Every structure is written in structure tokens, then in C-alpha cells.
Amino acid sequence: MTGFTSPSSRVRRRRSALLAGAVGLALTGAVAGQFLPPFNAPAEAQITTNQSAGQNSFADVVEKVSPAVVSVKIKKDVNARNMASNEDGLFGENVPPQIEKFLRRFGFEGGPNGQMPRPPRGGEGGGRQVVGQGSGFIISADGYVVTNNHVVDGASEVDVTTTDGKDYVAKVIGTDPRTDVALLKIEGKTDLPWVKLSDVPPRVGDWVIAVGNPFGLGGTVTAGIVSARGRDIGAGPYDDFIQIDAAVNRGNSGGPTFGLNGEVIGMNTAIVSPSGGNVGIAFAIPSETVKQVVNQLRETGKVARGYIGVQIQPVTDDLAAGLGLSEPQGALVAQVQADTPAAKAGLKSGDVVSKVNGETVKDARDLSRRIGTMKPGSNVALTVIRDGKTMTVDVKLEQLPNEQKLASVQEKDGGTKVPRLGLQLAPAKSVQGAGEEGVVVVEVDPNGPAGQRGIRSGDVILDVGGKAVSSLKDVNDGIAAAKAENRKAVLMRVKGEQGIRFVALTLTDKAG
């Protein structure tokens, strides 16, 4: 048929082009040969070095650690409704180009562009099984494997494949969505190759090697350096990522990054990319975080964290000036929840926590991470600045409630949560230095509509649907009005560090 080219002929055509290129190179070499020394030139005329092939090479390290790196394959049952909810999400077709610059998770199921399979239109059924893949690494001879939570989240079946092609069924021992760490177990093995999580954090500028399963290719090695440490990418309350410039792509998620001593210094988990491919900015969870989480998952199957019961936000330059602070440092308490350790200890809205057990608190994220790494039941001395005066408040930590319990506490305390947008809010009037208008964003779900559109903690929402807001009820009323008009998005006017801007937030059927 005219205009039709078979797959086999396309392959032959590409192959022919490659062969033609090879011939071109050969001809070029032949022409240039008349200017080069003959092949039987004296040995002393050749340029040589005294270095062995192994010097200035990562080959020895790679040879030792690669057997412990695995490909992780999962199967997940997905129905049409769940797939449809992703249609206007980060990987949807209607996302503006600038949104593509936000941090993108990788290692999920989908096509070359990272998109979920499209569900059939106009139906509720259409359930199907989706196959996804990522990376992981073995940390003990008896088969414990570490990977990302988002790689195995919701999996009905998990398989791991070693570099020598052996396949094993793995059991999910436990996961921690807050740090994106998951622990798997290969049963019945006692002699598997394994690698160690490093006890020493890397320095900026250190060489690192990433090994994983990008795009399902398996056994791929890339190298680079540590570009930065302590990165906050908005993924969660305990962000403390290592930034590396080794090439990391979709499918590397959950794979290890090694130092030159062969120890794991981090686990790859996210990239910044306008297209989903590598642009030299990747993030790894530090080994000390992975180790702490894995130890708890191995012992109990879950992670218990300390909890004081406050909503906090960063201290910006403007807030510091309003609070009478000499510099924007510490964590501002936006709200104290009732019947929590903070309330019992006497913490108040407007307090600035500057130290924990005598160690300086850099910002709100730093406070969250410090408290989250402590065990429930621990006694903590918080240095607090209140009305320009410094005091010490002793708090006994309790266990961080699960999401359902935490939501009920917030509702009991006046209700600050907007689940359909992934936001927790407080009236601006109740937060010192936030002004008199609008509601302050005190916490953002990075996977929610608001987080994906760039709204951050400390932003102030002024209008919702064209109407000024001053309370949670006003925000919910504005959202309800937009849905009643069958709008797919609600328009908000938001004030942040970059000034005032309008943000359109998609309204999904999962809104609660």
C-alpha cells in the first residue's frame, strides 16, 4: 500500500543509515591516512602513558557493588477512576510548560513520557493491571532490599531481578511515605551480595556513582559529584536531600548512589527536569535517613516519630521584622493544637522556636526533621522567643498520629485542613507578622493540587473564586461555589515571597 512502511523495513532503513555512517568514517580515515604516520611506525614515536587501565576509573568499585543492585518490578491493579484522576495532574496533557519544571517523581508505570495509561472515556469500570519498575539494593545477605515507597506503593506483586538475571519474589516489610523509603525481603536466602549504608555523610564535591535500572534497561552506571546537601524540594516535612549531577532518569528511583569506597551514601528518589529526562539535577535520600527508617521498619514494620502538635511556618524577612527578630531564623508557631504535647507544655501561637536541646533551629523544616527523628516519650527542651523575650519550654514528645487521627485533631481544633487542595490553613490575623487579610498556608501536601501548582508554606491566600477570604469556611465556600458552577478549577489570588499572583487549582472528584 502506498505510504505504508513496515516496522521491519524501518529497522532496515535505520540500520542502513548506521552502516552508511560507518562507511563514511572509513573513507574519511582513508583520505586522512596520507597525512598520518604509517602503521609500522617506530614504537618510540607513539604517545603512551605509564598508567594502568584501572587508574582514574570507577570500574573496580562498580564491579564490587553492582551484584547488590536490583531491578524492582511491580504489578498494580488500577481502575478507571484512579487513572482518570491523574489526567489533569502533573503528567496530564493540559499542563502548562512552566509546571513541567517542578520536581517530577520517576520510576512509576507508564509510557516513555511517564504518563499513566488513559482510561476508557465515559465509564467507571475498565480496571486493569499496570506494570511499573524502579531500582533497589540489597543491604543484608539474608535478602533485605531497600527501595522507594513510591516505587512499590499499592503494588499487588513485587519482583526483584539481580544483575546476573536471577528473579526473586519480594515481600513488602514496611514503608514510610514521609521519607519515601520502603523495605522489602527476599525469603529463603542467606548468601546474597549486599552493600553497606555509609555512616559518614559525603562532602560537596565528592565523586559519586549511581547504579540502577533507568527506563528498564537494567545494570546502568553513571558518575558525577555531590552538588549540594540539605536540599528542600517540597517532597515532605523531613526533606534533607543530597543533590548530585550523575545522570539519573526514570527507573533509577530507589537505586543507590555510592561513594568511591563502595558504601551507599544515598538513595535516588527525584529529579528536576522539563522533559522527564536527565538534566544533571537529581536528589538522593541521605544514607543516615535511610538507615534510621530501615531499622525501624525491620524491627516493627512501621516508623514511630516524635510529635509536639503545632503548625509551623518559615520565618521570612518580613515576619522577622514584624516579630522584632534580628534575623529570619527558627520556626514560627502558627497554631497549637489542643490536647497535644505543645499545648500541655504551654507553647503559644506566635512563638518562635530557636533551639532544640541547645542546638540552633535553622528553619521550620529543620525543626520538623529534628523532632521527627526523636523517639516518642523523649523529653525535649525548646528555646522559644515570645514577645521579644527568650524562655525555655520543656516538652515530652508523643507519637506522631497517623493521617486519620491527625485530621480529627485538626477538625476538633477548629478545622485547618482543605483535603481537596492538600492544604492546611490558619487565619492571617492569628499569625503574627502575616497581616490582617487572607489565610496563611501552614502546611502543603507536595502531591496535592496546591503543592503541584507551586503554593508553599507561608503563602497567604487572599481571594478564592474572586471573593476575599479570612477563614477556612470562606475558602471551602469558594471551592464549593466553583464546583456548583461545574468549573474544573478554582482561581486563587496568592501572596508569596515573589509578590501577588493568581493560581488556578484543579478540582478533582476525590475532593473530600
Q: Give 3-state DSSP helix, strand, coil % of the chain, rounded to 5.
A: 25, 30, 45
Rounded to 5 degrees, what are φ and ψ at 187? -80, 150
Lookup: cell for 479: 471551592
Rounded Cα gap, residues 387 and 409, in angstroms: 27
For residue 121, count CB atoms less than 10 angstroms from its CB and return exposed for 0-12, middle for 13-18, buried for 19 or more: exposed
Rounded Cα gap, residues 446 and 232, in angstroms: 12
Rounded Cα gap, residues 210 and 257, in angstroms: 4
Rounded Cα gap, residues 222 and 474, in angstroms: 51
Give Cα separations from 107 to 42, 462, 497, 509 (angstroms). 54, 37, 33, 26
Cα of first residue to Cα of last residue in the chain, in angstroms, is 54
CA-only gyration radius of the chain, Å: 27
DSSP string, 12-67: HHHHHHHHHHHHHHHHHHHHHGGGSPPTT--GGGS---S--TTTT-SHHHHHHHGG
**DSSP H or E segment with residue 386:** strand 379-386
Lookup: cell for 294: 530501615
Rounded to 5 degrees, what are φ and ψ at 151? -75, -40
Torsion, CA 196, CA 201, CA 206, CA 210, rounded to 10? 40
Bridge partners of residue 312, in order along the sequence: 333
For residue 226, count CB atoms less than 10 angstroms from its CB and return exposed for 0-12, middle for 13-18, buried for 19 or more: buried
CB atoms within 10 A of CB 286: 22
Rounded to 5 degrees, what are φ and ψ at 49? -130, 165
Residue listed under C-alpha cell 543509515: 17
Bridge partners of residue 132, in order along the sequence: 74
Residue listed under C-alpha cell 514511630: 304
Rounded Cα gap, residues 446 and 508, in angstroms: 16
H helix runs in 187-303, sequence order: 287-300
Rounded Cα gap, residues 491 and 28, in angstroms: 62
Give Cα 155 to chain centroid, integer Å.
19
Catalytic site positions: 150, 180, 253
